[in-house]
Structure 1
Amino acid sequence: MLKNRISLVVGALLASGLCLADDAKVAPKGAAPAAAAAAPAAPGANVNIATVNGVAYPLDLFRMFFMERLQETQAQNDPAFQQQAFNEFMTMVVAAQEAQKRKLQDAPDVTAAIEVQRLKVLSNAALAAMAQDLKVTDDELKKAYEEVKKNAARTEFKARHILLKDEAAAKKVIKDLEKGADFGELAKKNSEVSTAKTDGGVLDWFDANSMPKPFADAVAKMKAGTNSKEPVQTQFGWHVINLQETRTGEPPSFEDAKQKLTALVQRQKLAVEVNKLREGAKVDLNEEVVKVTPKTDAAAPDAAPASPAKKDDKK
């Protein structure tokens, strides 16, 4: 009989690599979970978290399941989540045992799915091991930092805007501005953006890449302290723009960026190593299944599945 409650301190267990103490027992059905002590596992000990219908399940198996669920759900590692994860693990165990009773492990689709998961796990393990072997030099980090600085050194804008439904309404607002009307007050009265009623159409600092192209192009031609002379149309409607300030974006310091730069360079180097593996592999394609296409400068792989190629939409 499967017991559905367990007393353990999963957070400490997983963080420290400790295993359950002998007194951490599965509680009878309906019993309230109690905090359990944790003790170091003896070297080489094969510690089980539970035995279900005569089959023992290692603690490490649950530990792996728990960490995956924690990552997937982004939940807080608290007693409620620990209990939930354990219950899910037990449900998975009994359902898997039922699948084996029904001989489902021999079904072609199940066999293929298991093999896909096996390949994923081995692939991820290999990539992690390869990444550990890759050393990142200071010169590589500095080169990557120069790219970060280049991208960060772009013009940023501080602006207000009034969004109108049609061009005629936008032109009327521009005329009112030319007569001396206050931009913020016009935004509160006329803008289709609900927040403009309180903030007068103020936008956060932005760069050209974060705005629709017509809006970004118009702002780039304006001088700080001026209004747009013509309405600007985007997919949202018609805009009247007031450019308040411009500034050049500042990159993070090298030290602040170092950790992310290391990960970036490591990924780039890993991609090169994986590509070498691809190029060095002896591949015999079944041409009845895979359509071989001539290699071009734009094509990355030598072979591609026989399906229609996607074309870039040109608008």
Structure 2
Amino acid sequence: MRKGLTFLQGAALAAFMALPLPAMAAPHANTVIATVNGEDITLGHMIMARESLPDQYKQLPDDVLYNAILDQLIQQTALKQQLHGGMPHYVRLSVENEERALLAANVIENVMKSASDEDALRKAYEDKYSEGDGGDEFRAAHILVESEADALEIKEELDAGADFDILAKERSTGPSGPNGGDLGWFSRGRMVPEFEEAVLDLRAGEISAPVETQFGWHLILLNERRKTAAPSFEDVRAELSQELQNAAVEAHVSDLTAAAVIDRPEIDDLDPAILNDLSLVRN
């Protein structure tokens, strides 16, 4: 071999070795981690498998969890290949339900994100606290009894001049009874709607007519009402965001179902208890 050619080949190799090596592609969701009889298990499969784990398992060391998830996916893949592409009916139904739920959750997530951007949050804050205060707080007491008849009887005694504190201690069945029915200070939204509506109609020192709630019958004494200072924007950011997101999701779902063509045919002899019969989908 001629020396000149040998020199050129050596120079070319040296020049190639001096070039920077191309960067290896970073792992991505479609990176194949393992194959089982030609079927791929990707990094994406592993990420989603980890996401579905209970929180206590996510606390395991990363390497331990990585190997455990990969082993599980390999074993599951080998096992499901025994069906040779078939899918039992109950499994197909479960997959369809899971797909439906995940896609619906994705839409809800997008609605929530668009509903609570910075401008929307600032506007919600201004609308809610435009008067410079945080709304009303109330200090009230109540007497809770089981029947309307009992409540009316006690109301007559109160109208005749009986002491509310004493009657609450003697007659109220609620946990606040021993304290004269005192509920302390509370703001709007803290009490059940029927109770709150009665409080809003009272002036300080007034006692309500009997009010029925899920807990029984109440006689409510409003002791005092006051204005609270408006919170800072940052203090209520999370609360406002949640309110905007909930309202947006509720409106979006309502609009979608109102516009959808929904048919719910009447089915004769359909007992709701039939949902307990798993044999219908496993046979």
TM-score (normalizing by structure 2): 0.55
- Tell me the equivalent position of 2:9: none
Aligned residue for 2:79, secondary structure, equals helix
Letter in 1 for 2:259: P
Give matches, 1:135-174, under 5 Å.
136=117, 138=119, 140-149=120-129, 154-174=135-155
Match of 2:26 among 44, 57, 67: 44
| SS across alignment from 1:203 | strand
Q: Deviations over 1:250-287 (max 9, x none)?
A: 5542344456657877899999999xxx9xxxxxxxxx
Q: TM-score with structure 1 length normalisation?
A: 0.51
Distance 1:201-1:76 versus aligned 2 partners, 3 A rule? farther
Which of 251, 254, 263 matches 1:305?
A: 263
One-letter amino acid of the structure 2 residue matched with residue 64 of structure 1: M
Asked if the contact 1:162–1:201 (Cα under 8 Å) also holds between the matched residues in 2, the reply is: yes
Which amino acid letter does the alignment assign opposite residue 245 of structure 1?
E
SS at match of 1:305: coil
User: Quick one: which of 197, 204, 211 aligns to 1:232?
Assistant: 211
The count of residues paired between Structure 1 and Structure 2 equals 237
Q: Secondary structure at the match of 1:227?
A: coil
1:67 Cα deviation from its structure 2 partner: 2.5
Return closer, same or farther for 1:250/1:83 CA change in 2, 3 Å cut-off. farther
Distance of 1:141 and 1:305 partners within structure 2: 38
- Name the structure 2 match of 1:242: 221
* Aligned-pair identity (%): 29
Q: Quick one: higher RCO (CA 8 Å, sep 6+), 1 or 2?
A: 2
Is the Cα–Cα contact under 8 Å of residues 65 and 89 in structure 1 kept in the other structure? no
AA matched with 1:221? D
What letter corresponds to residue 62 of structure 1 in structure 2? M
Equivalences for 1:1-315 in 2 at 5 Å?
Answer: 43-44=25-26, 48=33, 57-58=41-42, 60-70=44-54, 75=56, 77-79=58-60, 94-103=75-84, 105-107=86-88, 110=91, 114=95, 136=117, 138=119, 140-149=120-129, 154-177=135-158, 182-193=163-174, 195-203=175-183, 205-207=186-188, 210-213=191-194, 215-228=195-208, 230-248=209-227, 251-258=230-237, 300-301=258-259, 303-307=261-265
SS in 2 for 1:300: helix
- More divergent stretch after superposition (144-153 vs 97-106): 144-153
SS in 1 for 2:52: helix
> What SS does the corresponding residue of 1:224 show, helix, strand or coil?
coil
Q: Which amino acid aligns with 1:227?
A: I
Point out where structure 1 has 5 or more consecutive residues left out of the alignment: 1-41, 279-298, 309-315
Q: In structure 2, the residue corresponding to 1:245 is in which secondary structure?
A: strand
Choose between structure 1 and 2: higher helix proportion.
2
Check conservation: 1:157, 1:247, Cα contact below 8 A.
yes
Unaligned 5+ segments in structure 2 are 1-23, 267-283
Contact 2:192 2:213 in 1 (8 A): no
